[in-house]
Each structure stands twice: as C-alpha cells, then as structure tokens.
C-alpha cells in the first residue's frame, strides 16, 4: 500500500491539472489493481511537459521570474481557510464539490498574511486595469437598424403605397383680333398662353401595421369634400398609447344633444390607463356652424359682412328715391311695402368688348328723373316724389334742344344748358346689356350685375 501511494503522487506532479483530477479518482478507486499488477507494468516514456507550470499547492516557490501558463480553476473548485487556535496555524484546503482536493496547506500567521497580501494586491491592480479599459471603450449606442427595433416601433417591415386618382394638364394658345375703330392698332391683336391643371389624387401609405399615411388632394372639390392630409399611428392592445393622429382629425362626442366640431386640423391622442380612457385634441377648426330659423314660412338667418369684403361695383340703386325708402320697404319682410313696380328697364355700360351689336354713342345724365336734382339749375316742377321724367325740368330742356341728338354738337348743347362734363353728364360709347347679364328688383329698384364694373366705366339705365 505504501508503494502505491508513492506511485500516485509521482503521477500527479507530471500530468496537467485537468487530467490529474480524473486520473486521481480513477487510481484511488483501483488501488488493489495497481498493487497486484505492479510487477507487470512495463517502463513508460517520460511524461514531462515541454512548458511545465507548478501546482497551486506549492506556495513556497520563490522563483518569481519563472514564466508559465496559469489556467484558472473551474467554478466547482473552491478554497476554504480555517484557523487552528491550538497550533496557531492557518489551514488552506481546496475542495471539489464537497470533497477535499489534494493535501491541506499549513501556514503560520506571517506566511498567511503575506499570502493574503499578495492576493489582495493582484486583485486590486486587476480591478484598476479593468476599470481603465472600460473607460477607454466607446459606449454602444442603439441603432435603428438593430434587429427587432423597427418591428417594435411600426409592427413590421412591410411598406405599402397605393396611389389613386388622375391628373389633367390643359395647355393652349388664344389669339384675339378686334376690328374696333375706337381701339388703337396695337391693341386690336393680342395673343396669350392658356395653361390649367386639374388634379384629384388619393395616396394611402402603410408602414408595418401601426403607421398609416393618407393624403387626398383635389383641385376641384365637390360640395362637402375637402383636402385631407393625415398621419395615424396605432399602438398595440396592451400599450398605454392607443392612437396618435396628425393632420385632419375628428372629435366626435358620444351624445345626442351635443355634436363634436368638424374639419379640425391638429393633433389627437388616445391613451388608456387600465379602465381609464383619455382622448385629447389640440387643433384649429376650419369649419363654421350656422343655425337656420324658419318662422311663418320664411327663413331667418343672422350673418355679418365685413366692410372690406363687400362685393362692390355690382349692386346699384336706380335712383335716390329707392335709397331713401329702402329700409321702410323691407322692414316687414317677406311683405315689401313699395309704391313702385318697374315693368321694364334697359342697362347700358361702356363698350370694352369690341362688339358692334347694340352699341350706341350716348349721353348719360345724373339728375334725370330725380325729385331733388344735384344741379341747382333744375328743380322739381311737378311736386312728385317718385322717379319720373317729368319730376324735374331737365327732361323737358333736353327735348327742346335738337342739337343733343347730333353727334357733332351733343357735347356743346349739353354744356349750354349749364351742365358740367363728368359731373352732371358723361358721353361714352355704350352697349346694351342682355337680360341674362343682370337681375333687377321691380319693387326695391336695384340691379345686380353678373360681373363687376371697372372703376372708369359708365353705367346708365333707361
């Protein structure tokens, strides 16, 4: 038995650490086999390593200059230290699992303190080196291309784009030639390019399952249709953020008494905290709400028109009488209280279109038919207050002067009556408007033109 023990120790000094553990267990459990067959074992070759390294148990080695490869112990090998007060020694025992591994090492207090000092010094410098290397490394920043991040944000990597609609381009050239002798030669012929575009486009884009983009743009929207641009993000069922909408949003109210605003432009969010749902909107309303009241078969509606938005140069009263009595005539609407009913009217305007049909060289008078003429040379001779040719003596004076009917003497004849040009009368080449170019009210005495009149045009009625 003594010979066998010496044989085992010799083997453990020349075999590496990882093989030594297995071989020790095998040899100890088969001691009798080696004892019975010791004489039959042939002489083996040398098992010395080319690059040997000492055993961990040899703590008394003083050769610090020797270089060797030191493989760390596995995780299942631990080291326990016990202090023997009677002998005044420290016992260091390595264990494999719950079993002792190798022989114990006995150190006096001075040797143990030196041993622990060396371990603490090596551990300190090792921690310093690791901390320094960690500070010198650049931190790893998250990137969008990292696997799984894009899927978490948008619910997938699929991209769908569905454009629909049409685009019409109109291009042309217009040439106009007017044979009007009253127009200068350079203005009779002119040409210009005519370009127009009609667009009706609807684009729906989908990124994953969460992000959706909707754009609807039309250059000629129908009644009730509006151009929309909307970005919508929808979260999962277990997320706090349920939905975010940017662009054209809606805010319907779950009530039959109150209706939510329409045509909102802004941002809308929907959040859920357990059973609590929160919907918030920050937007600008682009629509208006009006109320119409019907009473006695008539419609009443209050509205406001700003002064700078009034449609000027289209609405005209036929005389001062209609201006003075307009409020009294409409105070009992729908009944119009007026003593006058106009059966026929002619509207003349300065000819700027170059047409030759229905064109006359005419004189237009300001005080004709007025009860209170602006010119003091004429006065009310009939005592009437309604507009009529016989209300003042201007019409009679014009009939008594045949020179006003001649083109060459018309201006001089009007000046001879005490009238001032551009104030009391105006001579111009005028054309008669068709009945489709204007509307007139026979009781209130006003006309409504379809197009605006230029500031330097002359407008006259007969």
> Could you give the count of Cα atoms lying within 13 Å of 415 in the half-sphere of its Cβ?
7
> Rounded distance, CA 360 to CA 90, Å?
136
pLDDT 10s digit of each residue in the chain, 462 long? Answer: 333 333 333 333 333 333 333 333 333 333 343 344 444 445 556 666 666 655 554 554 444 445 555 567 778 888 888 888 888 999 988 888 788 888 888 999 999 999 999 989 999 998 888 888 877 776 666 555 555 677 777 777 788 888 888 888 888 888 888 888 877 887 888 888 888 888 888 888 888 888 888 888 887 776 555 677 888 888 888 888 888 888 888 777 776 666 666 778 888 898 988 888 888 888 887 777 777 777 777 777 777 777 777 778 888 888 888 888 889 898 888 888 888 888 999 999 998 887 888 888 888 888 888 888 888 888 888 778 888 888 888 888 888 888 888 888 888 888 888 888 888 888 888 999 998 899 989 999 889 898 888 888 899 998
* Beta bridge partner(s), residue 77: 96
Angle at alpha carbon of residue 212, lines to 206 and 216, rounded to 5°: 100
Place of tokens 């509606």: 301
Asked if residue 443 belongs to a domain, the reply is yes
> Rounded distance, CA 181 to CA 255, Å?
71
176 in Cβ contact with 190 (< 8 Å): yes
**Pairing of β 189-207 and β 228-234:** unpaired
Asked if residue 339 belongs to a domain, the reply is yes
430 in Cβ contact with 359 (< 8 Å): yes
- Do residues 342 and 202 share a domain? no
Asked if residue 67 belongs to a domain, the reply is no
Query: Taking the C-alpha atoms of 412, 418, 422 and 424 in order, what is their torsion angle to the nearest 10 degrees?
Result: -130
DSSP annotation of 308 reads G
Asked if residue 64 belongs to a domain, the reply is no
Q: pLDDT value at position 26? A: 36
Distance spanning both ends of the chain, measured CA to CA:
150
Asked if residue 188 belongs to a domain, the reply is yes
* Beta bridge partner(s), residue 262: none
Domain boundary among 269, 285, 301: 285
Asked if residue 207 belongs to a domain, the reply is yes
Query: Smallest Cα–Cα separation from 350: which of 371, 364, 367?
Result: 364
Structure tokens at 399: 């009939």
Q: pLDDT value at position 94? A: 86
- Do residues 30 and 164 share a domain? no
Structure tokens at 431: 């054309």
- Do residues 334 and 440 share a domain? yes
Helix (H, G, I), strand (E, B) or coil at 287: coil
Query: Smallest Cα–Cα separation from 195: which of 220, 213, 170?
Result: 170
Q: pLDDT value at position 198? A: 83
- Do residues 316 and 455 share a domain? yes
List the 211-218 sheet strands across, edge first. Answer: 159-177, 189-207, 211-218, 228-234, 241-249, 264-273, 276-285
- Do residues 201 and 330 share a domain? no
Q: Provide the whole-model pTM.
A: 0.37
Asked if residue 142 belongs to a domain, the reply is no
- Do residues 4 and 37 share a domain? yes
Cβ neighbours of residue 42 under 8 Å, at least 6 residues apart? none
14 in Cβ contact with 49 (< 8 Å): yes
Structure tokens at 104: 């114990």
Cβ neighbours of residue 382 under 8 Å, at least 6 residues apart? 388, 390, 391, 392
- Do residues 165 and 278 share a domain? yes
Q: pLDDT value at position 224? A: 56
140 in Cβ contact with 132 (< 8 Å): no
Asked whether the bond before 334 is cis by omega within 30 degrees of 0, the reply is: yes
Domain assignment of residue 82, given as a range: 72-136
Percent of the chain that is helix, strand, coil (3-state, to 5): 20, 30, 45
> Rounded distance, CA 440 to CA 424, Å?
25
Q: pLDDT value at position 130? A: 85
**Ramachandran quadrant class, 383 (left: phi over 0; alpha: psi -120 to 50; beta: rest):** left
DSSP 314-363: SEEESSHHHHHTHHHHHTTTTS---S-------EEEE--S---TTEEEEE
> Rounded distance, CA 38 to CA 4, Å?
9
- Do residues 130 and 43 share a domain? no
- Do residues 367 and 443 share a domain? yes
How many domains is the chain partitioned into structurally? 4
Q: pLDDT value at position 121? A: 92
Containing 127, the helix (H) or strand (E) segment is: helix 109-136
Cβ neighbours of residue 462 under 8 Å, at least 6 residues apart? 345, 346, 348
Quick one: how far is CA 273 from the chain centroid?
Answer: 27
323 in Cβ contact with 317 (< 8 Å): yes
277 in Cβ contact with 269 (< 8 Å): no
- Do residues 210 and 274 share a domain? yes
- Do residues 185 and 116 share a domain? no
Asked if residue 352 belongs to a domain, the reply is yes
Backbone angles phi, psi at 123, to 5 degrees: -70, -35
**Pairing of β 293-295 and β 425-432:** unpaired
Helix (H, G, I), strand (E, B) or coil at 34: helix
- Do residues 175 and 238 share a domain? yes
Burial class (CB in 10 A: 0-12, 13-18, 19+), 359: middle
Place of tokens 């002998």: 87
Q: pLDDT value at position 199? A: 82
CA–CA distance from 281 to each of 37, 254, 264, 273, 287 (Å)?
94, 15, 9, 18, 16
């Amino acid at each position: 038995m003594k010979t066998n023990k010496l044989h085992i120790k010799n083997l453990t000094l020349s075999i590496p650490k990882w093989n030594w553990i297995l071989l020790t267990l095998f040899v100890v459990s088969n001691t009798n086999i080696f004892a019975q067959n010791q004489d039959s074992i042939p002489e083996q070759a040398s098992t010395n390593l080319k690059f040997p390294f000492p055993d961990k148990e040899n703590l008394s080695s003083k050769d610090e200059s020797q270089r060797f490869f030191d493989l760390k112990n596995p995780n299942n090998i631990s080291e326990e230290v016990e202090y023997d007060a009677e002998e005044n020694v420290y016992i260091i025992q390595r264990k494999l699992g719950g079993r002792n591994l190798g022989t114990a090492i006995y150190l006096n207090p001075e040797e143990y303190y030196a041993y622990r000092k060396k371990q603490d010094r090596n551990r300190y410098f090792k921690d310093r080196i690791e901390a320094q290397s960690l500070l010198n490394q650049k931190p790893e920043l998250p990137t969008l291309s990292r696997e799984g991040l894009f899927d978490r944000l948008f619910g997938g990597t699929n991209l769908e784009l569905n454009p629909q609609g049409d685009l019409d381009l109109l291009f042309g050239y217009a040439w106009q030639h007017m044979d009007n002798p009253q127009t200068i030669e350079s203005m009779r012929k002119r040409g210009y390019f005519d370009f127009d575009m009609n667009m009706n486009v609807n684009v729906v884009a989908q990124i994953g399952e969460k992000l959706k983009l909707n754009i609807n743009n039309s250059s000629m929207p129908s009644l009730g249709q509006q151009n929309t641009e909307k970005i919508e993000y929808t979260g999962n069922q277990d997320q706090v953020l349920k939905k975010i909408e940017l662009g054209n949003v809606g805010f319907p109210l779950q009530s039959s008494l109150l209706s939510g605003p329409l045509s909102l432009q802004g941002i809308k969010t929907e959040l859920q905290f357990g059973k609590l749902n929160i919907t918030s909107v920050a937007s600008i309303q682009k629509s208006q709400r009006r109320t119409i009241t019907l009473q006695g078969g008539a419609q009443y509606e209050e509205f406001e028109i700003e002064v700078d938005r009034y449609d000027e140069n289209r609405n005209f009263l036929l005389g001062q009488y209609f201006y003075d009595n307009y409020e009294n005539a409409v105070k009992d609407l729908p009944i119009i209280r007026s003593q006058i009913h106009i059966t026929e009217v002619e509207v003349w305007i300065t000819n700027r279109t170059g047409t030759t049909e229905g064109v006359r060289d005419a004189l237009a008078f300001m005080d004709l038919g007025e009860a209170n003429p602006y010119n003091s040379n004429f006065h009310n001779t009939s005592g009437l207050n309604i507009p009529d040719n016989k209300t003042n003596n201007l019409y009679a004076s014009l009939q008594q002067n045949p020179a006003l009917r001649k083109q060459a003497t018309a201006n001089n004849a009007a000046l001879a009556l005490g009238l001032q040009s551009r104030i009391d009368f105006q001579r111009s080449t005028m054309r008669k408007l068709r009945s489709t170019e204007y509307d007139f009210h026979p009781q209130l005495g006003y006309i409504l033109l379809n197009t605006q009149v230029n500031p330097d045009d002359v407008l006259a009625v007969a």
